Amino acid sequence: MWCYRKILKISFRDRIRNKDVLSRMHTELHFVRDMMKRKMKYAGHVLRGSAGVSHLQILEGQVEGIRKQGRPRDTWIQDMLRGSGGKTYGDLKRAAEDRNRWRLMVVNLRIEDDR
């Protein structure tokens, strides 16, 4: 983004959204979609149990203690639900058990443009 802003001669102090900069450059960020696809593929591997029980326990586990002040960080599961359009974690896990259905979900990812 810094390079695009430099090319367009936009100062870092100008309040122009990244989405607007990308539209001026007539491009989009492909790496965000690629990273999400890789993340979904690995999540399917873990949800099926192919990676072992320890990975699944880490994914499903809760951290004990007091939460820090401010907005809670997104979890992997929340990210998967947002990308897949699933309603619950159970739906996501059932979808991962069927490899063909999971591959279809990975291909048809829903990436939000607001990021």
The tens digit of pLDDT for each residue in 76-108 reads 888 888 877 777 888 888 888 888 988 888 888
Residue 7 lies in a domain: no
pTM for the model: 0.63
Q: How far apart are CA 94 and CA 76, in angstroms?
A: 17
List b or e across 15-48, with b for residues whose CB sees 16 or more CB atoms inside 10 angstroms: eeeeeebeeeeeeeeeeeeeebeebbeebbebbe
Asked if residue 110 has pLDDT above 60, the reply is yes
Residue 10 lies in a domain: no
Q: Which domain holds residue 88?
A: 30-61+74-107
Backbone φ and ψ for 77, nearest 5 degrees, come out as -65, -40
Joined together, the tokens standing for residue 93 give: 């896990």
Residue 46 lies in a domain: yes
Residue whose entry in the numeric block shows the structure tokens 């696809």 = 37
As for how many domains the chain has, the answer is 1
Q: What is the identity of the amino acid at 72?
A: P
Residue 1 lies in a domain: no
Joined together, the tokens standing for residue 45 give: 């591997």
* pLDDT tens digits, 6-62: 999 999 889 999 889 999 998 887 887 888 888 888 888 888 877 677 777 777 777
| Residues counted in the chain | 115
**pLDDT classification of 111: cutoffs 50, 70, 90:** low
